[in-house]
Amino acid sequence: MWSDARRRVPILKAMRTLDRSRQLQQRAEHLLPGGVDSPVRAFRAVGGDPPFVVRAEGAYLWDADGNRYIDYFGSWGPMILGHAFPAVVEAIQQAAAHSASFGASTPAEAELAGLIKAAVPSIEKLRFVSSGTEATMSAIRLARGFTNRKYIIKFEGCYHGHADGLLVKAGSGVATFGIPGSAGVPEEIAHFTLALPYNDISAVEAAFAARPQQIAAIILEPVAGNMGCVPPHPGYLAALREITKRDGALLIFDEVMTGFRVAHGGAQQLYGITPDLTCLGKIIGGGLPCGVFGGRAETMDMLAPLGPVYQAGTLSGNPLAMAAGVATLGHLARNCEAVYVNIDETSRLVAEGVADVLSEAGVPVTTNRVGAMWTWFFTHQPVVDFATAATSDTARFGVFHRAMMESGVWLPPSQFEAIFLGTAHTPEIVEATLTAARQAVASLHEAQPAR
């Protein structure tokens, strides 16, 4: 079953020392559940000790023991320009010199809002919040307030942050840990969330037929990233647009991950579909806490202080996040063509190159990619929804992940996450990644594949 790859590439023995990270992990575990502030960082799904990062620059991370890694998760998406991008660092430093927060309106909010509106014309008005979770949670409340309806539709394997009603059959860490939802979410709340299979338009038609004029909105990742990368089937987004328009429900694109990543104008530009509301996060804050929800003015004006839908936030529109966002989106806008052609081609070289290494070694892999986000699913099946993503051999992915870490390549620590790169990933880094994959395959042969 295995080719002779193992004889060609020497197997890397563990070269890294993680002594300092292990000490930091032990201290952290006394203070933070699992030693982390977000579950997927604990490496529970892939095994091995999570390195503690102390600095990063360009495409590289360094841990507390001095090990260097090529970064393929980019803070889970934000770092599209690479770490410590000079213009972003300078913008944050300059803003910080005038205090970190005012809790009052600032000129920078309108500047960043203008850059977002220029790239995403479906957004006539928007509101800043401090995370993607806040953006989607607020968008759902606004949709319910605007339509005066209670039900929402989400899709299995999609993750929209950790607001109660959106944790039903969610992706990302919820899928990674194989939990159907989350404890603490009352069934009375989960009841109003209909979770359907992704890429199955008949399921959506049936849901609307069963509850005509009762569904406030559909929320989805227009390119799913939180079950791993799963693109929409041709015509799927257009069908969702038609069904929601016909029934009077809102179509919400959660572009927290895809916004400014798969295209300057996000998935809605890439696929030519105009949603009613858009949620953004990650890249728009340049690495600082920032989220946005926005859409038509008639909908957004339902928000307090103009309308009856309440939403608020102490650090919403924070001046440091605004400064980092303006520096980031300003660079993307000025260099739009070059940036997205570059990261798409670099992603193709890495995604296809590593897939070839795995396939040549007889390791079943399905690669899904949209621009600079992709996933290597350790399965031979096409992956079109969460059920097919779940056929992946997560144990073997864990072996691959640990081997790549040993070779200095830090992939997202879960089979059900998307891999990202940015403009700092050079051809030399591509080559180093392929070399690491060849070494990792040797480790895969060493480890008895999961049965």
One residue of 40, 56, 327, 437 binding ligand KE4 per CB under 6 A: 40
Judged by CB under 6 A, the number of residues near ligand KE4 is 20
Question: In the complex with ligand KE4, which residue's Cβ is closer, 208 or 420?
Answer: 420
Backbone angles phi and psi of 205, in degrees to 5? -55, -45
Q: Which residues contact 156 (CB under 8 A, 6 or more apart)?
A: 169, 195, 196, 197, 198, 227, 385, 386, 387
Q: What angle do CA 153, 242, 215 make, to 5 degrees?
A: 30
- Does the footprint of ligand KE4 cover residue 295 (CB under 6 A)? no
Question: In the complex with ligand KE4, which residue's Cβ is closer, 28 or 257?
Answer: 257
- Does the footprint of ligand KE4 cover residue 226 (CB under 6 A)? yes
Question: In the complex with ligand KE4, which residue's Cβ is closer, 230 or 441?
Answer: 230
| DSSP secondary structure code for residue 265 in this structure | T
Q: How far apart are CA 163 and CA 37, in angstroms?
A: 16
- Does the footprint of ligand KE4 cover residue 254 (CB under 6 A)? yes
Tell the residue number behind the tokens 């803070």, with chain if given. 75
Catalytic residue among 63, 71, 254, 393: 254
- Binding to ligand KE4 (CB under 6 A): which residues in 67-96? 76
CA separation, residue 133 to residues 17, 364, 433 (Å): 36, 35, 32
User: Which listed range, 64-72, 142-150, 155-163, 292-300, lies at the site for ligand KE4 (CB under 6 A)?
Assistant: 155-163
Tokens of 419: 């891999």
Render 136-169 in DSSP notation, one character per residue. Answer: HHHHHHHHHHHHT--EEEEETT----S-GGG-TT
Closest distance to ligand KE4 from the beta carbon of 133 (Å): 3
Closest distance to ligand KE4 from the beta carbon of 260 (Å): 13
- Binding to ligand KE4 (CB under 6 A): which residues in 338-377? none
49 CB-contact burial (10 Å; exposed 0-12 / middle 13-18 / buried 19+): middle
The question of whether 254 is a catalytic residue gets the answer yes
How many Cα atoms occupy the beta-carbon half-sphere of 363 within 13 Å?
Answer: 35
CA separation, residue 433 to residues 136, 302, 372, 388 (Å): 35, 49, 15, 27
- Does the footprint of ligand KE4 cover residue 173 (CB under 6 A)? yes
- Does the footprint of ligand KE4 cover residue 154 (CB under 6 A)? no
The question of whether 310 is a catalytic residue gets the answer no
CA separation, residue 159 to residues 49, 152, 202, 222, 431 (Å): 25, 14, 21, 12, 32
Q: Which residues contact 307 (CB under 8 A, 6 or more apart)?
A: 145, 301
User: Which listed range, 106-114, 128-136, 229-237, 260-268, lies at the site for ligand KE4 (CB under 6 A)?
Assistant: 128-136
- Binding to ligand KE4 (CB under 6 A): which residues in 296-325? none
One residue of 24, 42, 116, 256 binding ligand KE4 per CB under 6 A: 256
Question: In the complex with ligand KE4, which residue's Cβ is closer, 119 or 284?
Answer: 284
User: Which listed range, 84-92, 159-167, 298-306, 432-440, lies at the site for ligand KE4 (CB under 6 A)?
Assistant: 159-167
Catalytic residue among 72, 151, 159, 198: 159
- Binding to ligand KE4 (CB under 6 A): which residues in 416-435? 417
Catalytic residue among 72, 236, 282, 385: 282
Question: In the complex with ligand KE4, which residue's Cβ is closer, 5 or 383?
Answer: 383
44 CB-contact burial (10 Å; exposed 0-12 / middle 13-18 / buried 19+): middle
Site string for ligand KE4, 186-225 (x = CB under 6 A): -----------------------------------x---x
| DSSP secondary structure code for residue 38 in this structure | S
Nearest residue to ligand KE4, by Cβ distance, number only? 132
- Does the footprint of ligand KE4 cover residue 281 (CB under 6 A)? yes
Question: In the complex with ligand KE4, which residue's Cβ is closer, 42 or 95?
Answer: 42
Cβ proximity of 1 and 361 under 8 Å: no
Q: Which residues contact 110 (CB under 8 A, 6 or more apart)?
A: none
The question of whether 271 is a catalytic residue gets the answer no
Closest distance to ligand KE4 from the beta carbon of 13 (Å): 31
Cβ proximity of 255 and 396 under 8 Å: no
Tokens of 77: 């998406």
CA separation, residue 299 to residues 193, 254, 399 (Å): 21, 17, 48
Question: In the complex with ligand KE4, which residue's Cβ is closer, 40 or 361?
Answer: 40
Residues designated catalytic: 159, 254, 282
Q: Which residues bind ligand KE4 (CB under 6 A)?
A: 38, 40, 76, 131-133, 136, 159-161, 172-173, 221, 225-226, 254, 256-257, 281, 417
